[in-house]
Amino acid sequence: MPARSSYATLIIMKRGYKILISLAVLFIVARIALPLGFLYVINKKLSHDMPTYVGRISNFSISFHRGSYEIDGLRIWRKDRAEYDPIIAVDKIRVSFLTHLFIEKKVLVSVDVDRPRLHIIDSVIKGNQQYGEEQNWEKLFEKFIPYDVENIKVADGSIVFVNRDYKKPVQVSIDKISVSIMNLHNTEKVNRKLPGQIKMSARLQREGWIRASVQFNKDAENPTFNLKADLTSTNLARMNNTFILYGPYYFLRGEMSLFSQVFVNNGAVRGYLTPFFKDVEAVKITWNNRIEKHIFAESIQALGDIVLSNSKRLHGKRYAFSGQMVPGEPRWQAFWTAVRSGFQKNVPGKKNIASRKVSSFSAKWLESTDGQTPANPPKRYGLREELELFQNTPLLVPTSFDQNNFSPHVAR
């Protein structure tokens, strides 16, 4: 009996070893084969599923013990352009399963995005434009992340808006973007009407800082959110190429800070914009820029109108606006339409602008300037000769704005 018992034990142990070895081999094969399989499938979809764009990823990896997978080196570019000029590039996308919610029978994930870069190109020639409007990006990224996303974190992102129609490209850059989005789906434990939350910070043109916080309801039929945002210490002269092309305005010097709050509920939009300016000298010019009007161009023109309108009331004046979203329009287009129409009612129009338009503008200046000072600045105000400006001195807008002693949601 003891001999038979030991023999049976030996057989069981051998079978156990075989099972363990088989599982180990299966795990190793899966560890190698699954990432390669996902890499092939994702690259195939990026190559064939987009009508205008094509893309690829450089690597796909799975971490079983962490319950996560990673996508490295994502690049998406237009089919008629080179890969080195992508509209979207991301160093790493990390998708982690929230295992503590499995007990509640919920499959939710957290997404970390490292160094995403968005490259937008504007042009009067439609073939040169790169807005990405023709692609359903949400549907595309659902193929990478086919799960409900609970949290999103973005680190060190950047957005570049460029127009290359002229010898000196017009460029606006936003870098050091940091975004945290929370409570997208698991909202029943959050006892408030706007359960979602977004916190964001970024740097504009390498010196001005943008900060924003948003509370929102993702499940609402129409956009429903409360936004507070500020932009501080932006050097206006560094954006002169942009203001000239889309404004058109020219700033000899000055800093700008903006504070705003927008509340949207059931199609109704209301909010305010409070600008502050420091040592601003600005003029308004006109020329046939032929730029098609869109949200960016309209925003630049509205901002310039505020600067050049009624300088005595620019010291923290609150520009309130309200409007109603148009039924039937796409949600965010309807939101922008409501903001634009409400804003135009309360901001002084062109008839109040404290400068005259010039009759013509030479594009030669735009080709030769660096966006801060004229290429050959004469005497005191170099724009008179180059831009054939009016005889009045440029508008001077001093301010007593002190960033350290200002509360944007209290001051009037």
198 within a domain of the structure (yes/no): no
pLDDT value at position 317?
A: 67
194 within a domain of the structure (yes/no): no
Q: Are strands 249-265 and 225-235 parallel, antiparallel or unpaired?
A: antiparallel
* Domain span including residue 317: 220-412
d(CA 324, CA 318): 20
d(CA 234, CA 277): 9
Residue in the block written with tokens 């070895």 = 21
Count other Cβ atoms within 10 Å, centred on residue 95.
19
124 within a domain of the structure (yes/no): yes
d(CA 33, CA 17): 24
Least Cα distance to 196 among 185, 208, 212, 209 occurs for 185
Structure tokens, 143: 């193929």
Residue 21 and residue 148 in one domain: yes
341 within a domain of the structure (yes/no): yes
Angstrom distances, CA of residue 389 to CA of 275, 306, 313, 358, 361: 26, 20, 25, 6, 9
Residue 45 and residue 146 in one domain: yes
Residue 177 and residue 272 in one domain: no
199 within a domain of the structure (yes/no): no
d(CA 7, CA 15): 12
Residue 66 and residue 174 in one domain: yes
Residue 174 and residue 77 in one domain: yes
pLDDT value at position 7?
A: 59
Residues 6+ apart with CB under 8 A from 98: 106, 108, 109, 110, 150
Residue 17 and residue 128 in one domain: yes
Residue 255 and residue 138 in one domain: no
Q: What is the pLDDT of residues 182-209, one digit of tens each?
A: 988 866 666 677 888 999 999 998 888 9
187 within a domain of the structure (yes/no): no
Structure tokens, 286: 């006109």
d(CA 174, CA 162): 12
Residue 100 and residue 148 in one domain: yes
Residue 338 and residue 386 in one domain: yes
214 within a domain of the structure (yes/no): no
Least Cα distance to 196 among 225, 167, 170 occurs for 225
pLDDT value at position 357?
A: 30
SS3 annotation, the chain: CHHHHHHHHHHHHHHHHHHHHHHHHHHHHHHHHHHHHHHHHHHHHHHHCCCCEEEECCEEEEECCCCEEEEEEEEEEECCCCCCCCCEEEEEEEEEECHHHHHHCCCEEEEEEEEEEEEEEECCCHHHCECCCCCCHHHHHHCCCCCEEEEEEEEEEEEEEEECCCCCCEEEEEEEEEEEEECCCCCCCCCCCCCEEEEEEEEECCCEEEEEEEEECCCCCCCCEEEEEEEEEEEHHHHHHHHHHHCCEEEEEEEEEEEEEEEEECCEEEEEEEEEEEEEEEEECCCCCCCCCCHHHHHHHHHHHHHHECHHHCCCCCEEEEEECCCCCCHHHHHHHHHHHHHHHHCCCHHHECCCCCCCCCHHHHHHCCCCCCCCCCCCCCHHHHHCCCCCCCEEECCCCCHHHCCCCCCC
Answer whether 397's CB lies under 8 Å from 255's CB: no
The dihedral of CA 337, 340, 341, 342: what is its sign?
positive
Residue 16 and residue 152 in one domain: yes
405 within a domain of the structure (yes/no): yes
Answer whether 394's CB lies under 8 Å from 283's CB: yes
Number of domains in the chain: 2
Answer whether 306's CB lies under 8 Å from 397's CB: no
Angle at alpha carbon of residue 142, lines to 337 and 224, rounded to 5°: 35
Residue in the block written with tokens 């092939």 = 40
Q: What is the pLDDT of residues 29-61, one digit of tens each?
A: 666 777 888 899 899 989 888 888 999 999 999
Domain boundary residue, one of 132, 160, 182: 182
Residue 157 and residue 230 in one domain: no
Residue 42 and residue 177 in one domain: yes
Residues of the chain with pLDDT under 50: 290, 310-314, 347-412
